[in-house]
Amino acid sequence: MKHDPSRAIFEMKQFGEFGDVNPSITDSATYTFLQAKTMSDTFHGEAEGCFLYSRHWNPSNKYLADVLAAMEGTEEGWVTASGMAAITSTILQICSAGDHIVASVSSYGGTFAFLQNYLPKFNIKTTFVNITDLEAVRNSITPETKIIYTESMTNPMLQIADIPALAEIANKHSVKLIVDNTFTPMILQPAALGAHIVVYSMTKFINGKNDCVAGAICGSHEFIGSLIDVNNGTAMLLGPALDPLRSSSILKNLHTLHIRMQQHSKNAMYLAIKMKEAGLRITYPGLPEHKGYETLKRLMNPDFGFGGMLSIDMLTSEKASRFMELMEMHDVGYLAVSLGYFKTLFSNSGKSTSSEVPEEIQHDMGLSAGLVRFSVGLDHDIERTWKEIEKCLEIMEN
């Protein structure tokens, strides 16, 4: 039977220390031991169920990590203080000086900047490719390549990565396929499709409230163990630990993720169809004319739709700015970065979340200066939302 991510979450039995239906929040940085040997064993990773120091593990973070691993179908998980902490810790754990990465050029601007601008300080090089061009991926691999990195649905171009095909390439060359699944939790399950490691910005859809910043890494026991090893684990030594209070709130929000993803997808599909009918330059992976439609349809869990992300091209940044300002005035949503919120968020990607990508590369990857990215919210009356968007478009034309 196909893995059901929502069922996996609900089957987890986690109780507080007094039988609480919600797991207890561990408000402690350090933990005591009744025997000195147990402390020593814990330092060496040889004591089961013991906690040492909250930068390494704490019970609240482990509750969340265990549920995330169940959702993704991986052996283990680990949570971080941001999505970028998850991405950077994972990459730095695998790569050393002289290594090479093949990465999607359509990636979140912070990820692009880390790969392009930061890693060269350590003599780690990255070749950026159109991740849907499998031949380009194959041709970019060198003997030094350690990672193929992509987002399952890329930011902001909304390309769909063929994860099984990329996994086949990665396995052939003994490299790790890392997939950022931030845009498509539950819709796509990268580990089941062949990815070796899955990363998230939990700030977005997983938490869904835009009230905290957090990240996650899901993978094998071996990889997570190496990541938090007290002697050479990148996550342990760089210290990107998530606060346990935030872990607790995210864990509760996870239990509504399946409902939220369904509504995000339903609303996005409605707006995409209306925008298409209105003659707008619309990109939405749920429309049959989208280049990745067939790939997504083949790989996705249909219970959760095609996702809450879409974009329209207003051709110029000036028109995009005016349109977004009007939409905010008409209560369509907020002119703000990020995504996965219960209200609709929109931003001009080239001037915001992809601004780290040089303009010439933006042009080469097909990122229009007027692209407006929408994270469609949970509106109950999405018809009203469309009517307000129509009013904004009418004002733009006059």
Q: 265 Cβ partners below 8 Å, 6+ apart?
A: 187, 286, 304, 305, 306, 307, 308
Consecutive H or E run containing 313:
strand 309-313
In this predicted structure, what is the pLDDT of residue 349? 83
In one-letter notation, the amino acid at residue 154 is T
Give per-residue pLDDT as tens, 355-381: 778 888 888 888 889 999 999 999 999
In this predicted structure, what is the pLDDT of residue 271? 98
Percent of the chain at pLDDT > 70 equals 99
For the cut 60, the answer to whether the pLDDT of residue 1 exceeds it is no
Give 176 or 57, the one with higher predicted confidence. Answer: 176
For the cut 80, the answer to whether the pLDDT of residue 397 exceeds it is yes
In this predicted structure, what is the pLDDT of residue 139? 98
Q: Is the peptide bond before 164 cis (omega within 30 degrees of 0)?
A: no
Give per-residue pLDDT as tens, 112-150: 999 999 999 999 999 999 999 999 999 999 999 999 999
Give 354 or 391, the one with higher predicted confidence. Answer: 391
For the cut 70, the answer to whether the pLDDT of residue 353 exceeds it is no
List the domain boundaries for the chain. Answer: 5-254, 257-397
CB of 152 closer than 8 Å to CB of 163: yes
In this predicted structure, what is the pLDDT of residue 236? 92
Give 199 or 17, the one with higher predicted confidence. Answer: 199
For the domain covering 5-254, report its CATH number. 3.40.640.10
For the cut 90, the answer to whether the pLDDT of residue 290 exceeds it is yes
Distance CA 192, CA 8 (A): 14
CB of 336 closer than 8 Å to CB of 348: no
For the cut 60, the answer to whether the pLDDT of residue 292 exceeds it is yes
For the cut 80, the answer to whether the pLDDT of residue 2 exceeds it is no
Give per-residue pLDDT as tens, 35-90: 888 888 888 777 777 888 888 889 999 999 999 999 999 999 999 999 999 999 99
Fold type of domain 257-397: Aspartate Aminotransferase, domain 1 (3.90.1150)
Mapping DSSP to helix (H, G, I), strand (E, B) and coil, where does residue 30 land?
strand
Taking alpha carbons only, the member of 191, 181, 336, 161 closest to residue 261 is 181
Distance CA 200, CA 176 (A): 16
Residue 177 phi, psi (nearest 5): -95, 115
User: In which band, very low, low, confident or very high, does the pLDDT at 105 lie, cut at 50, 70 and 90?
Assistant: very high
